[in-house]
């Protein structure tokens, strides 16, 4: 601004008369050089988004500490390069699929090199998993023509028994003065599973320590995902979106470490086994068997509604697949501003799923083996509730920070027709109670 | 001698420019700028590409004002306060017209933010630009030069 | 089958929403960071991963890098 130029000259320490100074200022105005008051470089070029997460289940189950970072480099005209890194360290135990018994039980570790025991009446947990997982993502996004946006990327992750490699691409197009956006995207992944000790033959027994005769080698699976979406501005305060997703998995879909208890047809107790001299299973446990194919369809809808500074974010997702699992997810966030820069955001999520067609609590030894069976609680019938609170603020340097604390509880049930004998009197479903704590830091340069 | 002239000019300017160059108009009429090339740039404080276009518009104003280029930044903020805050951070050398009821935007059929309408010396709409791309600055400038070169 | 009809219906309805929406200059609230469909991509990715590991459903919002041998 013209006045600014004058002010700058006024602060010049050289001895000048006022009139001369003012005159000089005016003449500078008449000149052709324009000291652009705004530097075009002012637009941020880098965006760093980092978080530290703690996830912990009770009862000595899984604990995870995770570092996650997404770095974006913004180029002129809305072109973006993003790089992501995640490092997880997992410890703790996870249910191995066997049911509780009145007496103590023992199992051979996946490696086959030692055994572990479970006290009487306890849910059998395998605590072999102390693992570090590293995941990277890279993506490029740029406008395509006046109304389009194209993006492509790849992803990879590695842990001691698993390697994931994937590519993805998507395109979005704006219509109707950017009120409507249609998008389509796909992802393709090839995952290699290298189970500790080798992949066990499905429906074979858990063997003694040192016996790996029923073990194979590595396995792999392919996953293809397709997403079609539409988002629509409804009013000045309301935007909604709907996505249809299709996912096809082919290959090794088993969990190589999970077993089912092979039980007596009357008592429902696990048939006993005498472990070998070096240790082994105290009962008959069969490795699980899942189909080598899975097709999933999901429909996801979301609305964001602004009410006088507060934002309501509500979404619903329905999923159905050919394993006969149906699920519903309702997720609600309500952001309440506190002053100019801080906010509080309560969060509530409700999830429910029905069990897979081949979900079994245990296998009846007197009956024909079904084509497939798994007692993995994640394929069972359960409800999950999450309740949490997030608090966000801006630092003095105008950077964003937030912390959130959430509590996640899963409670499931076994279909009553699956109970055999004594099983009905025990608490068979491995309910889950977890706490989630996350701290995030975001800044642009 | 030159310094006397400059001082006189400065005093004259002081008298005329009671407000900063970015003066608020309540009335707007194209006939005020007959024979000039007029760029109507529709912007709002919450629009990121608008922030990118301001330095360029200031540049064009400085370069071609003498040759008859008139840039008018038409502000579409619902709240005058938001617009004023923006202008304090990103000052404009060119004129600002406040169109908070969007009457002008509707008349011109603004389809995107920002939108630029280049009106030639003959009063006819020559070019419409939707959005602002840093990469196309040279192209935009060439259009202005061409429009300035035409006879009214 | 039901899902297919529902999805196609929803997409058609939305495609027919061509007259709905706001003028380009009325997007002040929609431009705010907290009104973006995914305001916090890091939190979204974290949640997607947690629930993918503990439940039988995944994603829905879109997709991206993932896949793990989570037990």
pLDDT digits (tens, 9 = 90+) for C24-44: 889 989 989 899 999 999 999
B19-149 CATH choice from 3.40.50.300, 3.40.30.10, 3.40.50.970, 3.40.1010.10: 3.40.30.10
Distances (CA, A) of C34 to A245, A292, A391: 25, 42, 14
Tokens standing for A350?
């409700």
ipTM above 0.90, yes or no: no
What pLDDT was estimated at residue B1?
A: 63
Buried b / exposed e along A376-407 (16+ C-beta atoms within 10 A): bbbbbbbebebebebebebeeeeebebebebe
| Residues A382 and A413 sit within 8 Å (Cβ to Cβ) | yes
| Closest CA in chain A for residue B9 | A26
Residue A357, classed as helix, strand or coil, is coil
CB of A232 less than 8 A from some CB of C = yes
CB contact under 8 Å between A43 and B13, yes or no, is no
CB contact under 8 Å between C28 and B102, yes or no, is no
State pLDDT tens for residues A145-159: 888 999 999 999 999
Residue A245 in this model has a pLDDT that exceeds 80: yes
Distances (CA, A) of A364 to A123, A261, A262, B63: 19, 9, 6, 88
Residue A12 in this model has a pLDDT that exceeds 70: no
Question: What mean pLDDT do residues A155-173 have?
Answer: 94
Q: How far is CA A198 from the centre of its chain?
A: 27
Beta strand B69-75 with A432-444 is unpaired
What pLDDT was estimated at residue A15?
A: 34
**Residues of B with CB below 8 A from A146's CB?**
130-131
Cα angle for residues A162, A165, A170 (degrees, 5° grid): 140
CB contact under 8 Å between A32 and B63, yes or no, is yes
Instruction: Write down the domain spans for chain B.
Output: 19-149
CB contact under 8 Å between C10 and A242, yes or no, is yes
CB contact under 8 Å between B105 and C31, yes or no, is no
CB contact under 8 Å between B52 and A3, yes or no, is no
**Residues of B with CB below 8 A from A29's CB?**
13
pLDDT band at B27 (very low <50, low <70, confident <90, very high): low
Q: Which fold has domain A50-444?
A: Porin (2.40.160)
Tokens standing for A4?
């600014």
What pLDDT was estimated at residue A134?
A: 96
CB of B110 less than 8 A from some CB of C = yes
Q: Pick C22's closest partner by Cβ from A231, A233, A384.
A: A233
State pLDDT tens for residues A317-352: 999 999 999 999 999 999 999 998 999 999 999 999
State pLDDT tens for residues B48-87: 888 888 889 999 999 998 888 999 999 999 889 999 999 9
Distances (CA, A) of B14 to A2, A17, A23, B62: 11, 18, 12, 19
Q: Which of A27-31, A130-134, A259-263, C33-37 has the highest mean pLDDT?
A: A259-263
Terminal alpha carbon distance of chain A: 26
Distance (Å, whole) CA A2 – CA A8: 10
Please give the backbone phi and psi of residue A417, each rounded to the nearest 5 degrees, phi first.
-65, -15
CB contact under 8 Å between A34 and B58, yes or no, is yes
Cα angle for residues A91, A94, A100 (degrees, 5° grid): 145
H or E element at residue A63: strand A63-75
Concatenate the DSSP letters of all residues of chain B into one string.
-HHHHHHHHHHHHHHH-SS-SS-EES---GGGGTTSEEEEEEE-TT-HHHHHHHHHHHHHHHHHTTTTEEEEEEE--SSHHHHHHHHHHS--SSEEEE-TT-HHHHHHT--SSSEEEEE-TTS-EEEEEES--GGGHHHHHHHHHHHHHS--
* Four-CA torsion A18, A23, A26, A30, nearest 10 degrees: -160
What pLDDT was estimated at residue C60?
A: 74
Distance (Å, whole) CA C16 – CA C52: 34
State pLDDT tens for residues A348-376: 999 999 999 999 999 999 999 999 999 99
| Closest CA in chain C for residue B76 | C25
Q: What is the CA radius of gyration of chain C?
A: 17
Q: How many other β-carbons are positioned within 10 Å of the β-carbon of residue C65?
A: 25
**C interface test, pick of A230, A429, A437 with most C CB neighbours within 10 Å:** A230
Q: Pick C28's closest partner by Cβ from B42, B46, B105.
A: B46
Beta strand A259-263 with A363-364 is parallel
What pLDDT was estimated at residue B8?
A: 62
Instruction: Write down the domain spans for chain A.
Output: 1-37, 50-444
State pLDDT tens for residues A204-237: 999 999 999 999 999 999 999 999 999 999 999 9
Residue A46 in this model has a pLDDT that exceeds 60: yes
The reported pTM is 0.83
Distance (Å, whole) CA A108 – CA A196: 12
Chains in contact with C via at least 3 Cβ–Cβ pairs below 8 Å: A, B
Nearest alpha-carbon partner for A182 in A233, A228, A238, A244:
A228
State pLDDT tens for residues C41-65: 999 999 999 999 999 998 777 643 3
Sign of CA dihedral B42, B46, B52, B54: positive
| Residues A38 and B59 sit within 8 Å (Cβ to Cβ) | no
Residue A298, preceding peptide bond in cis (omega within 30° of 0)? no
- Exposed / middle / buried, residue B1 (Cβ in 10 Å: 0-12, 13-18, 19+): exposed
**Residues of B with CB below 8 A from A27's CB?**
6
Quickly list H helices, A37-113: none
CB of C25 less than 8 A from some CB of B = yes
Sign of CA dihedral C36, C41, C44, C48: positive
- For A110, left (φ over 0), alpha (ψ -120 to 50), or beta? alpha
Residue C53, classed as helix, strand or coil, is helix
Distance (Å, whole) CA B68 – CA B120: 10
State pLDDT tens for residues A391-419: 999 998 889 999 999 999 999 999 999 99
Q: Pick B59's closest partner by Cβ from A23, A34, A76.
A: A34
CB contact under 8 Å between C25 and B44, yes or no, is yes
What pLDDT was estimated at residue B121?
A: 87
CB contact under 8 Å between C25 and B42, yes or no, is yes
Distance (Å, whole) CA B132 – CA A306: 28
Name which residue leads in pLDDT, A101 or A59: A101
Chains in contact with A via at least 3 Cβ–Cβ pairs below 8 Å: B, C
- For A329, left (φ over 0), alpha (ψ -120 to 50), or beta? beta
State pLDDT tens for residues A67-110: 999 999 988 777 999 999 999 999 999 999 999 999 999 999 99
What pLDDT was estimated at residue A24?
A: 37
CB of C24 less than 8 A from some CB of B = yes
């Amino acid at each position: 601004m013209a006045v600014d130029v004058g002010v700058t000259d006024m602060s010049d320490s050289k001895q000048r008369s006022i009139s001369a100074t003012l005159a000089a200022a005016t003449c500078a105005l008449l000149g052709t050089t324009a000291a652009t008051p705004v530097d075009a470089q002012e637009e941020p070029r880098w965006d760093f988004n980092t978080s530290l997460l703690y996830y912990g289940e009770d009862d000595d189950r899984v604990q995870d500490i995770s570092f996650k970072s997404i770095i974006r480099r913004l180029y002129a005209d809305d072109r973006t390069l993003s790089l992501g890194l995640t490092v997880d360290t997992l410890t703790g135990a996870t249910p191995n699929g066997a049911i509780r018994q009145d007496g103590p039980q023992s199992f051979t570790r996946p490696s086959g090199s030692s055994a572990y025991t479970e006290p009487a009446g306890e849910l059998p947990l395998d605590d072999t998993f102390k693992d570090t997982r590293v995941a990277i993502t890279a993506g490029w996004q740029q406008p395509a023509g006046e109304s389009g946006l194209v993006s492509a990327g790849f992803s990879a992750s590695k842990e001691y028994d698993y390697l994931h490699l994937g590519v993805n691409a998507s395109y979005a197009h704006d219509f109707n003065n950017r009120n409507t956006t249609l998008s389509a995207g796909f992802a393709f992944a090839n995952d290699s599973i290298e189970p500790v000790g080798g992949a066990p033959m499905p429906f074979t027994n858990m063997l003694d320590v040192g016996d790996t005769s029923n073990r194979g080698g590595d396995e792999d699976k392919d996953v293809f995902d397709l997403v079609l979406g539409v988002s629509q501005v409804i009013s000045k305060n309301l935007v909604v979106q709907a996505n249809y997703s299709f996912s096809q998995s082919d290959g090794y879909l088993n969990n190589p470490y999970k077993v089912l208890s092979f039980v007596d047809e009357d008592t429902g107790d696990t048939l006993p086994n005498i472990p070998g001299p070096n240790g082994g299973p105290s009962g008959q446990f069969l490795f699980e068997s899942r189909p080598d194919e899975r097709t999933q369809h999901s429909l996801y809808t979301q609305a964001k509604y602004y009410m006088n500074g507060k934002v309501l974010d509500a979404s619903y997702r329905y999923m159905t697949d050919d394993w006969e699992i149906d699920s519903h997810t309702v997720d609600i966030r309500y952001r309440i501003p506190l002053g100019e820069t801080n906010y509080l955001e309560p969060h509530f999520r409700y999830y429910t799923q029905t069990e897979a067609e081949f979900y079994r609590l245990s296998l009846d030894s007197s009956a024909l083996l079904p084509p497939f069976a798994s007692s993995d609680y994640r394929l069972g019938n359960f409800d999950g509730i999450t309740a949490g609170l997030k608090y966000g603020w801006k630092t003095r340097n105008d950077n964003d920070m937030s912390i959130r604390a959430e509590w996640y509880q899963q409670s499931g049930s076994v279909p009553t027709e699956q109970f055999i004998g004594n099983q009905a009197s025990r608490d068979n479903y491995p309910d889950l109670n977890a706490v989630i704590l996350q701290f995030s830091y975001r800044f642009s340069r | 001698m030159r310094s006397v002239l400059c001082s006189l000019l400065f005093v004259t300017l002081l008298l005329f420019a009671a407000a900063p160059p970015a003066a608020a108009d309540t009335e707007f009429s194209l006939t005020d700028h007959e024979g000039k090339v007029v760029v109507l740039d529709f912007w709002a404080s919450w629009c990121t590409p608008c922030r990118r276009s301001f330095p360029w518009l200031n540049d064009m104003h400085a370069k071609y004002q003498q040759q008859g280029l008139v840039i008018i930044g038409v502000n579409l903020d619902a709240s005058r306060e938001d617009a004023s805050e923006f202008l304090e951070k990103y000052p404009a050398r060119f004129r600002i017209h406040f169109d908070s009821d969007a009457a002008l935007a509707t008349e011109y059929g603004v389809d995107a933010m920002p939108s630029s309408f280049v009106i030639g010396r003959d009063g006819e709409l020559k070019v419409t630009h939707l959005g602002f791309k840093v990469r196309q600055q040279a192209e935009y400038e060439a259009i202005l030069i061409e429009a300035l070169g035409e006879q009214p | 089958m039901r899902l297919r009809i529902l999805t196609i219906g929803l997409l058609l309805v939305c495609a027919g929403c061509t007259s709905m929406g706001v003028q380009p200059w009325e997007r002040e609230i929609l431009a705010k960071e907290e009104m973006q469909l995914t305001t916090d991509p890091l939190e979204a990715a974290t949640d997607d991963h947690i629930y993918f590991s503990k439940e039988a459903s995944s994603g829905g919002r879109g997709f991206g890098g993932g896949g793990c041998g989570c037990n």
